[in-house]
């Protein structure tokens, strides 16, 4: 096992001790981190969305910026703004005039990990403030461009049930998330362990464990880039994405369910995520199982279902599962 993989496994272990019953979420957080992508977590209240992200930040030697999205939030509350800084330097007493300079005050976006809590509660103008940061890793304020840290990741959460007073993310912004992960309630045993974990945290101070350095993540990303993916796997990825755009190739049922298919970002995301997933399994090559393992979280939020599918209660994730069932490896 390489030093980078050992560090990632240590990171995974620390997160699993802090977040119980959500191993799928932890795995997806690590995949997104290795792919230099952004993640959207959707789940009911109390399903450890925020806790999962905080546990990642605590285990990493990285800064965490939290933005609580509300209807009255402004774009400057996310990116930062220019403010006047008055420096008198004791000169006013000598009869000299104080000088004022325009200084950029960075916002919470200038962190390694950015928690956008309840991202759909802010209007589109604020949501769009994240677009440049998510895609280009930079922020432009008052005509000046400021680079973001090399290790940067937006982790957003939203509640799928409570829609009153929310502003649903447009498709263009949804497409910029590498994955959208749906979180369910834990099972009986996990729920019992959660009670015991919280009780132990209340009764004694918990150690934070060893901080994983940022360089370990950067080294791991370099190794993920070296994971081999054969042409049949590439064609399989393309076939899965094309099935969302031209579903009539496979069945009339799929054709009736899908209104708009996935963009080319889906193919790129599948390629990156399959390689990261394979690397986490200790392999330096991609198999069809690696592609299938991440396909649902990558394609689900990039499909717009038809009115027919909505009437029948067909979800995007069910459509992806049907596509996986019908599309064969070349």
**Closest by CA position to 119, among listed 76, 173, 80:** 173
Residue with tokens 């979800």: 315
Tokens of residue 100, six digits: 């004022």
Most confident range (mean pLDDT) of 122-126, 247-251, 276-280 is 276-280
* Residue 201 scores a pLDDT above 80: no
Summarize the confidence of residues 266-277 as an average pLDDT.
Answer: 96
Mean pLDDT of the chain: 88
* Residue 205 scores a pLDDT above 70: no
Nearest-angstrom CA–CA distance, 123 and 176: 17
Q: What pLDDT, in 10s, does the model give residues 295-323?
A: 999 999 999 999 999 999 899 999 999 99
Q: What is the DSSP letter of 165?
A: T
Angle in degrees, 0-180, between the axes of helices 3-18 and 264-280, rounded to the nearest 10:
100
pTM attached to this predicted model: 0.88
- What values do phi and psi take at 314, rounded to 5? -85, 120
With a CB cutoff of 8 Å and minimum separation 6, the contacts of 301 are 40, 174, 177, 179, 180, 316
Domains of the chain (ranges plus CATH)? 3-70+112-214 (3.40.50.300), 227-326 (1.10.8.80)
Answer whether 215's CB lies under 8 Å from 10's CB.
no
Beta bridge partners of 154: 114
Answer whether 63's CB lies under 8 Å from 113's CB.
yes
Q: Is 200 exposed, middle or buried (0-12, 13-18, 19+ CB in 10 A)?
A: exposed
pLDDT of amino acid 30: 95
Answer whether 75's CB lies under 8 Å from 126's CB.
yes
- Banded model confidence at residue 19, pLDDT cuts 50, 70, 90: confident
């Amino acid at each position: 096992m390489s030093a980078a993989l050992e560090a990632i496994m240590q990171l995974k272990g620390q997160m699993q001790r802090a977040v119980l019953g959500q191993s799928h979420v932890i795995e997806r957080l690590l995949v997104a981190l290795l792919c230099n992508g952004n993640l959207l977590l959707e789940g009911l209240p109390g399903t450890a969305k925020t806790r999962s992200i905080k546990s990642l930040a605590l285990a990493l030697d990285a800064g965490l910026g939290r933005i609580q999205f509300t209807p009255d939030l402004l774009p400057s509350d996310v990116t930062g703004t220019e403010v006047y800084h008055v420096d008198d330097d004791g000169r006013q007493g000598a009869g000299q005039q104080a000088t004022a300079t325009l200084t950029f005050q960075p916002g919470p976006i200038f962190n390694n990990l950015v928690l956008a809590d309840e991202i759909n509660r802010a209007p589109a103008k604020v949501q769009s403030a994240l677009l440049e940061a998510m895609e280009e890793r930079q922020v432009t304020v008052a005509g000046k461009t400021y680079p973001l840290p090399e290790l940067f990741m937006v982790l957003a959460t939203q509640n799928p049930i409570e829609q009153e007073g929310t502003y649903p993310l447009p498709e263009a912004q949804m497409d910029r998330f590498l994955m959208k992960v749906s979180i369910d309630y834990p099972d009986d045993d996990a729920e019992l362990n959660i009670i015991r974990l919280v009780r132990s945290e209340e009764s004694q101070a918990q150690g934070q464990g060893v901080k994983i350095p940022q360089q370990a993540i950067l080294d791991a990303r370099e190794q993920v880039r070296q994971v081999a993916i054969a042409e049949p796997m590439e064609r399989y990825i393309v076939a899965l994405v094309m099935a969302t755009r031209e579903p009539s190739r496979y069945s009339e049922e799929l054709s009736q369910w899908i209104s708009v298919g996935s963009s080319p970002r889906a193919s790129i995301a599948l390629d990156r995520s399959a390689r990261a997933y394979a690397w986490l399994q200790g392999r330096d090559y991609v198999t069809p199982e690696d592609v299938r393992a991440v396909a649902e979280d990558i394609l689900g939020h990039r499909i717009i279902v038809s009115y027919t599918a909505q009437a029948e209660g067909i979800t995007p994730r069910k459509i992806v599962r049907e596509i996986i069932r019908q599309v064969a490896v070349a």
